[in-house]
Amino acid sequence: MFELDSRLHNDTFFVCDLTLCRVLLMNDSQFPWLILVPRKNDIAEIIDLTEHEQILLLQESATVSKVLQAVFTPFKLNIAALGNVVRQLHVHHVARFEGDVAWPKPVWGNQAAVPYKEESAKLLIAQIKQHLERENAK
Amino acid sequence: MFELDSRLHNDTFFVCDLTLCRVLLMNDSQFPWLILVPRKNDIAEIIDLTEHEQILLLQESATVSKVLQAVFTPFKLNIAALGNVVRQLHVHHVARFEGDVAWPKPVWGNQAAVPYKEESAKLLIAQIKQHLERENAK
């Protein structure tokens, strides 16, 4: 059974499961920030996935990227698989704007998170799910 | 004709061209750090590439990841398409070690680069090219 790393669990909201990955919303209202976690245990690197799974990850990354563009119209997407702190493979997708609190630096480790208000998170998750369904239906 | 961003040109050494991407070695001796740049102009996001090109990028990213693992045996790979400063699509592949100068933070924007000595860079590039050829022949 797939087990999500406890730090990822604590720092995010569940959005939905795609074919390979779990989609999470980072609980930081400073950035629209979705994380894809392949639902396989003991995977740290993209190349630890099979070739078929790597292509699924690529496709789901493209879907999530298009959703972030559709909902937030960012200046730039930041996509990254780091894993220095949480080793379980997870791919960040962050919508960046000129003048956001970390701009032009990366978002990791430079400022504390500002959690969403519960109602805002619920609304945002519903909106993202709707766009994911629309994107997947294409 | 493909034009490489001048900042990428200035900060890196040319390694070789793969089917889609140019391979560059970041001129920072603190981290084994390869960059893939798809040889197409006016591309900022991975999803600006065609689906076929995205799969090529994924395959070349896997090749470069395996070469970094084979040559350096890192604790973790950091793979990222950021582009907040240089907009031309480029994908970082950084071999990370517990205790490297930025650990566990990302490498971007936290410390000045320490350029290679010319002879070290030449030797390293030759070694990387040899491993890329070996990996591509598989």
Q: Could you give the 3-state DSSP secondary structure of residue B134?
A: helix
Radius of gyration of chain B (CA): 14
A108/B109 Cβ within 8 A: no
- Any idea where the domains of chain B sit in the sequence? 6-136
Least Cα separation, residue B74 to chain A (angstroms): 11
Quick one: pLDDT at residue A136?
Answer: 84
Q: Could you give the 3-state DSSP secondary structure of residue B34?
A: strand
Quick one: pLDDT at residue A19?
Answer: 97
pLDDT over 90 percentage in chain B: 96
Topology of domain A6-137 in CATH is HIT family, subunit A (3.30.428)
B-interface mutation test, from A48, A66, A79, most B Cβ less than 10 A away: A79
Give which of A82, A91, A124, A87 is closest to A20, Cα–Cα: A91
Helix (H) or strand (E) holding A59: helix A51-72
Least Cα separation, residue A36 to chain B (angstroms): 14
Domain B6-136, what architecture? 2-Layer Sandwich (3.30)
Helix (H) or strand (E) holding A25: strand A21-26
**pLDDT for B47-71, tens place per residue?**
999 999 999 999 999 999 999 999 9
**Among the ranges given (A2-6, A94-98, A133-137, B83-87), the one the predictor scored with the smallest mean pLDDT:** A133-137
With a cut of 0.95, is the ipTM above it?
A: yes
> Looking at chain A, which residue has its C-alpha nearest residue B87?
A76
B62/A47 Cβ within 8 A: yes
pLDDT at B137 over 90: no
